[in-house]
Structure 1
Amino acid sequence: MSRRMSKLSILAAALALLACQTAQAVGPFQIYEQALRNDPVFLGAIKERDAGLENRAIGRAGLLPKVGYSYNKGHNNSKVSYLDTVRGTITEKRNYDSYGSSLTLQQPLIDYEAYANYRKGVAQALFADENFRGKSQELLVRVLSYYTKALFAQDQIDIALAKKKAFEQQFQQNRHMFQQGEGTRTDILEAESRYELATAEEIEARDEQDAALRELAALTGEPNLDVRDLDPLQEDFQSFSLTPANYDTWHEMALSNNPVLASQRQRVEVARYEVERNRAGHLPKLSAYATMRQNESESGNTYNQRYDTNTIGIEVSVPLYAGGGVSASTRQASRSMEQAEYELDGKTRETLIELRRQFSACLSGVSKLRAYQKALTSAEALVVSTKQSILGGERVNLDALNAEQQLYTTRRDLAQARYDYLMAWTKLHYYAGTLREEDLARVDEAFGQRAQP
């Protein structure tokens, strides 16, 4: 029995190992698909959009007919006194039932307030739609931002571990030389200092990675997300083609398509029709109505009488004076509209500044990547030549430490430049208002291990 259990345990372990080996890492696009289903910010944005779209129907309701029905039925106990010329004052007690019903149809004909409220509702619905479009594109940026932060932190951890290993070897070598009387205590302290700095960098990178992974976990709803679950950036990644290549076209695209600017323009429209709605408080209203009434013994004067009345007509309402409230409300709404216009100007300038920054970052990023790649090759050759020069007595141990430090710094800067380029390319499309799932899918192709030919 124990032998059979042992075989089952071995089989279960083998299956678990096989499952781990066959588990595939996920790229940014898969993270984005999970975020669409689990990110509470995005899910809340969907409900916010749905609620905002109802403003169109709410505003339209003020222009459509209104139908109302009322019914009442009661029992009356009354005492009636009247004067008779023969019998004098006579008092009668009446106990009777009464009822009344009314069906009313009313249709606004001239109501500028209702019209302004409808146009305001349309603008509010468009604002909600553009605001949601902006948050949808923002989700793409957030996914890639946290994804690259986690990977860059892992690059920093790997570099820190490599630095610690190199400085530990240098420390042991310097201590051995010092014991042999060929080195100095300064060399030992220098290597030890570099080692401790690398340790601090590792700790900081792990904290940054933990924060980035937690952000991704909040987006996807996967609490146990590990950096090993993420596809790394391919080592041979260079850059993307920038289309269109001139800034003026991107400038026009941003003014036309940026969802933040579009929603801000709709906000100005909302404020403008709020001014009109308040101004309508000085204007008359005209409506048509039709009523069907049935009444029986509704009052003492109609005791034991039944009335069936059909009425059709028009109703005019003319406001004369409201204590100055209409004028004050109009002035208040006008100031709010002016505020919205200034905020639109500010948001436009801010967006175009960021657009230009990301466009320049894309152009310069290509040159930076090329320069860092060459610098990395030179730094690697410098480390080799420095170690050879030390053996020949032409260099000292401090030169080797500096060469190692320069190599790892270049590796870190190259990794950061690659992620910065990806973010700049993505944000350029975001500020232009053209960022789509297809763009993230293109970025996704830059991640993962390249298949061997």
Structure 2
Amino acid sequence: MSRYSLVTAVLLLSSTQAFAMGPFAVYEQALRNDPAFLGAIKERDAGLENRILGRAGLLPRLSYNYNRGRNNSEATLPDSQGGSVTDTRNYNSHSSTFTLQQSLFDYEAYANYRKGIAQALFADEAFRGKSQELLVRVLTYYTQALFAQEQIDIAQGKKKAYEQQFQQSEHLFRQGEGTRTDILEAESRYELASAEEIAARDEQDASLRELGALIGAPSVDIGELRPLGEGFSALPLEPSNYEHWHELALTNNPELASQRQSLEVARQEVERNRAGHLPKVTAYVTSRQQESDSTNTFNQRYDTNTIGIEVSMPLYAGGGISASTRQASRNREQAEYELEGKTREILIQLRRQFNACLSGVNKLRAYQKALKSAEALVVSTQHSILGGERVNLDVLNAEQQLYNTRRDLAQARYDYLMAWTRLHHYAGVLNEADLAKVDDAFDRR
């Protein structure tokens, strides 16, 4: 090899290593480029403002009003002879008022304050849920792309083996030692493997494009992804008892937490509507300056400072307050049922993923043993053909079993990774440290 070719090969290898991305690297790019996640950030920021909006109704309110105008009026006044005289008045007028108000008792404002807190907490929990969902989406598309590649490799291996069987069967048939059935069997399985390869390529293309959408690229090349390590067996499940995960989910699951805040919002909405029957008490301070503010105060100036308390009491509103309170109560009851339903749904999924983690370890061991047995079966069957004990169809069946076992083992490995990740997700504790553990399971090239 020339020196130039050697340098080129080294550069290409370095480039491949530099751009090989594990799930964690994809996640870091998705944090900056995924439109759904970036939109979730803005949604959370908007939701957090509800805390300030709710609090505003309890704080003092200061307002200023200024009015200035030009007045043209005629005043008809009685004279001393019993008649009248007209006085034309053209003058400027103005008024200036500062008003400071502080609510002393306003149950509606207090309910709005509590509602604003719940809405802000809802936004925060909803964002936490979407952050964890991004982790799950990254790993889902990543493993789907890699599993599709393994299916492609398996399909190509099948095609190569079946093509050899086809050629061998055809050669034996020409010599009068084989059968037409052996040729058709090899040809049929070759075409089925071709169809499997096409389907796997379509699935891989979709997964790579989904990954590209997460990181702001049209697509991702499969060569940029790090494959799962050959020695991968399982990740530690700590703790290994379901009751602990059950408690974690009830306490930390972001969907349940956001549903609880949604229920609190509905409760405070009931209280806000009930406040329509209650009085409001407000303290106020006013400083007012008036000059020729009306015809009665022509050429007069008043400086008035006022401090007082205002009480307002609703008496009748056509039944609207009672109706709105009943409506809010029904919405609260709906939120209670939705929380109960979501809790059951989350716990079912949690148990499913927990069982998948426990059984996944045994499945991996079983498939690994089955793979060794299938490989030995192929070799043994090939030797048996030479001894006249088996026929070509037996070899095809043994090879089919080998490739199916390889596919099932690959599927079991990726299923275990996803079950481990989703278990932490449903428990509400999935974070970047967990993704880093998953990332370590992939080969570093």
Q: 1:422 to 1:22 in 2, by over 3 A?
A: closer
Q: Alignment partner of 1:148: what SS?
A: helix
Correspondence 1:330 to 2:325: yes
5 Å matches for 1:174-323? 174-323=169-318
In structure 1, what is the equivalent of residue 423 of structure 2?
428
**AA partner of residue 215 (structure 2):** T
Structure 2 distance, partners of 1:399, 1:434, is: 50
Query: Are residue 98 (structure 1) and residue 93 (structure 2) matched?
Result: yes
Cα distance in 2, alignment partners of residues 224 and 259 from structure 1: 31
Task: Indicate which of 164, 167, 170 corresponds to 1:172.
Answer: 167
Q: Specify whether residues 394 and 322 from structure 1 end up closer, same or farther in structure 2 by C-alpha distance, changes over 3 A only.
A: same
Q: Deviations over 1:352-404 (max 9, x none)?
A: 00000000000000000000000000000111111111111111111111111
**Structure 1 position 261, deviation (Å):** 0.3
- Determine the C-alpha separation between the residues in 2 that align with 1:254 and 1:115: 32
Match for 1:358 among 353, 358, 369? 353
Identify which of 71, 75, 79 aligns with 1:84: 79
Stretch deviating more after TM superposition (10-19 or 173-182):
10-19
- Corresponding residue for residue 343 of structure 1: 338
**Contact 2:16 2:224 survives alignment (8 Å):** no
Structure 2 residue 46 is matched with structure 1 residue 51: yes
Cα shift at 1:20 = 3.1
User: Match of 1:335, as an amino acid?
Assistant: R
Q: How many residues align?
A: 442
Is the partner of 1:23 in helix, strand or coil? helix
For residues 379 and 216 of structure 2, the distance between their equivalents in structure 1, rounded to whole angstroms, comes to 47
Matched, 1:415 2:410: yes
Q: Deviations over 1:124-174 (max 9, x none)?
A: 000011111111111111111110000000000000000000001111111
Q: Distance in 2 between matches of 1:302 and 1:443?
A: 83
**Equivalent pair of 2:97/2:287 in contact (CA under 8 Å):** yes
Tell me the distance in 2 between the aligned counterparts of 1:144 and 1:395: 45
User: Please, which runs of 5 or more residues in structure 2 have no aligned partner?
Assistant: none
CA root-mean-square deviation? 1.6
- CA deviation string 1:311-370 (max 9, x = no partner): 000000000000000000000000000000000000000000000000000000000000
| C-alpha deviation, 1:23, in angstroms | 2.9
Which stretch shows the higher mean deviation, 16-25 or 200-209? 16-25
The separation in 2 between residues aligned to 1:334 and 1:169, in whole angstroms, is: 74
CA distance in 2, matches of 1:175, 1:370: 39
Secondary structure at 1:243's aligned position in 2? coil
Q: d(CA) in 2 for partners of 1:303 and 1:12?
A: 99
What TM-score comes out, normalization by structure 2 length? 0.97
**1:156 alignment partner in structure 2:** 151
SS in structure 1 of the partner of residue 71 of structure 2? strand
Distance 2:386 2:22 in 1: 46
Equivalent residue number for residue 6 of structure 1: none
Contact 2:105 2:281 in 1 (8 A): yes
Q: Percent identity?
A: 74
CA distance in 2, matches of 1:246, 1:285: 55
| TM-score normalised by length of structure 1 | 0.95
1:13-28 alignment, distance < 5 Å: 17=12, 20-28=15-23
Alpha carbons of 1:281 and 1:165: their partners in 2 closer, same or farther (altered >3 Å)? same
- Structure 1 outlier segments of 4+, above 4 Å: 9-16
Name the CA distance, whole Å, in 2 between partners of 1:78 and 1:279: 50
